[in-house]
Amino acid sequence: MSILVIAEHDNQALKPSTLSTLAAAAQIGGDVTLLVAGNGCAAAGDAAAKAEGVAKVLLADNPAYDHEIAENMAALIKSLAEGYTHILAPASANGKNFMPRVAALLDVGQISDIIKVESADTFARPIYAGNAIATVQSLDAVKVITVRGTAFDAVSAEGGNAAVEALSQVEDTGLSRYVSEEMAKSDRPELTSARVVISGGRGMADSEHFHLLEKVADKLGAAVGASRAAVDAGFAPNDMQVGQTGKIVAPELYVAVGISGAIQHLAGMKDSKVIVAINKDEEAPIFQVADYGLVADLFTALPELDESL
């Protein structure tokens, strides 16, 4: 078996989701080639060469892959696909964007968001907001797969010594043009790989009060998350949304504050190791999954928590 893994990176380093995807590749078994595509991504290519279990790194460093525009990424991956039995990418915003395009160009299906490798062609994945786990067997010659990072323990970022091959061919479709981006700036850990996550919901009432949460987060070294309702109301930016259709997190500790626990929210956090819920409604469904529940008004509980840490 021969596996092509598409790296998620920031041009300088690999994102943790790449290391989790490499872990899934290792479970499938076979030679692993890691593709690093971007613009000015040579440093990420060097980092890729050190990752555990990587036999070879392909480096596609060209303005055509700036911001990993899906049309060009898919054309590139399709051009490299021959000879691989599996193509894997993290189920990140980028991976979700270009991988189905790759699958269609190869005339195969895609298996999205796998949480378990049963065998080289059989995988488990959540469906219906995680209320059911489907085990599916791929019938295609090439398996195109996205991997849920939280479901696989990352391989080591060090210890490997793969050769880096720079690709000369450039796939520029001209179908889409990057215009701009607006990234939320934060010194806190990244949400999907943080050890502790503290999330606020509609109960936070407004963005002023959302800062209460950020103070506690900083004391805990935590990432901040939010429910959809909190994002829709403008208390928090979109990329903080935890849930079925937002980010999937599984930290050591998840603290849900003023969040009711709708199935769509639970889908994004119920694999956390320890769950704490703070909610003034003792009937809130979030308490059904919480290891420690505190029935309290968050406007008194959060400042108290802040003090006692």
Partner 1 sequence: MKVLVTVKRVIDYNVKVRVKSDNTDVDLNNVKMAINPFCEIAVEEAVRLKEAGTATEIVVVSLGPQAAQEQLRTALALGADRAILVQSDENLESLSVAKLLAKVVEKEQPDLVLMGKQAIDSDNNQTGQMLAALTGMGQGTFASEVKVEDGKVQVTREVDGGLQTVELSTPAVVTTDLRLNEPRYASLPNIMKAKRKPLETLTPADLGVEVKANTKLLKVEPPAERSAGIKVADVAELVDKLKNEAKVI
Ligand X SMILES: Cc1cc2nc3c(=O)[nH]c(=O)nc-3n(C[C@H](O)[C@H](O)[C@H](O)COP(=O)(O)OP(=O)(O)OC[C@H]3O[C@@H](n4cnc5c(N)ncnc54)[C@H](O)[C@@H]3O)c2cc1C
Q: Which residues define the annotated binding site for FAD?
A: 202, 227-228, 241-245, 258-265, 279
Q: CA 14, CA 46: separation in Å to the nearest integer?
A: 10
Q: Is residue 132 near partner 1 by the rule CB under 8 A? A: yes
3-state SS class at 250: coil
Q: How far is the CB of 11 from partner 1 (least distance, A)?
A: 13
Q: Is residue 76 near partner 1 by the rule CB under 8 A? A: no
Q: CA 142, CA 83: separation in Å to the nearest integer?
A: 9
Question: Which stretch, 20-28, 30-38, 79-87, 226-234, contacts partner 1 (CB under 8 A)?
Answer: 226-234
3-state SS class at 299: helix
Question: Which stretch, 20-28, 38-46, 99-107, 154-162, contacts partner 1 (CB under 8 A)?
Answer: 99-107
- What distances in angstroms separate CA 121 from CA 64, 80, 150, one per listed residue? 33, 21, 21
For residues 168 and 308, which CB has a smaller minimum distance to ligand X in the complex? Answer: 308
Q: Is residue 245 near partner 1 by the rule CB under 8 A? A: yes
Interacting positions 6-65 with partner 1 (CB under 8 A): none
**The amino acid at 90:** P
Greatest Cα pair distance in the chain: 61
For residues 32 and 250, which CB has a smaller minimum distance to partner 1 in the complex? Answer: 250
**The amino acid at 61:** D
For residues 118 and 165, which CB has a smaller minimum distance to partner 1 in the complex? Answer: 118
Please name the helix (run of DSSP H) or strand (run of DSSP E) that holds residue 34, with its range, or none.
strand 31-38
- The answer to whether 259 touches 277, Cβ cutoff 8 Å, is yes
- What distances in angstroms separate CA 51 from CA 43, 160, 242, one per listed residue? 13, 5, 28
Which member of 129, 157, 205, 233 binds partner 1 (CB under 8 A)?
129
Backbone φ and ψ of 185, nearest 5°: -90, 135
Q: Is residue 233 near partner 1 by the rule CB under 8 A? A: no
For residues 12 and 207, which CB has a smaller minimum distance to ligand X in the complex? Answer: 207
Q: How far is the CB of 224 from ligand X (least distance, A)?
A: 14
Q: Is residue 227 near partner 1 by the rule CB under 8 A? A: no
Question: Which stretch, 28-36, 127-135, 161-169, 201-209, contacts partner 1 (CB under 8 A)?
Answer: 127-135
Cα–Cα nearest to 148, from 168, 125, 172, 164? 125
Residue 141 interacting entry, from ligand X, partner 1, none, C-beta within 5 to 8 Å by type: none
Residue 232 interacting entry, from ligand X, partner 1, none, C-beta within 5 to 8 Å by type: partner 1
Q: Is residue 244 near partner 1 by the rule CB under 8 A? A: yes
Q: Is residue 175 near partner 1 by the rule CB under 8 A? A: yes
Q: Count other C-beta atoms under 10 Å from residue 191's C-beta.
A: 23
Q: How far is the CB of 194 from ligand X (least distance, A)?
A: 17
Residue 210 interacting entry, from partner 1, ligand X, none, C-beta within 5 to 8 Å by type: none
Q: CA 263, CA 269: separation in Å to the nearest integer?
A: 10
State in Å, rounded, how far the first CA of the chain is from the last one.
51
Q: How far is the CB of 119 from partner 1 (least distance, A)?
A: 11
Binding mask 265-294 for partner 1 (x = CB under 8 A): -----x--xxxx-----x----xxxxxxxx
Residues of the binding site: 202, 227-228, 241-245, 258-265, 279
- The answer to whether 204 touches 235, Cβ cutoff 8 Å, is yes
Q: Is residue 170 near partner 1 by the rule CB under 8 A? A: no
**In terms of DSSP bridges, do strands 196-200 and 86-90 run parallel, antiparallel, or are they unpaired?**
unpaired
Could you tell me the two tokens for 12?
């300088």
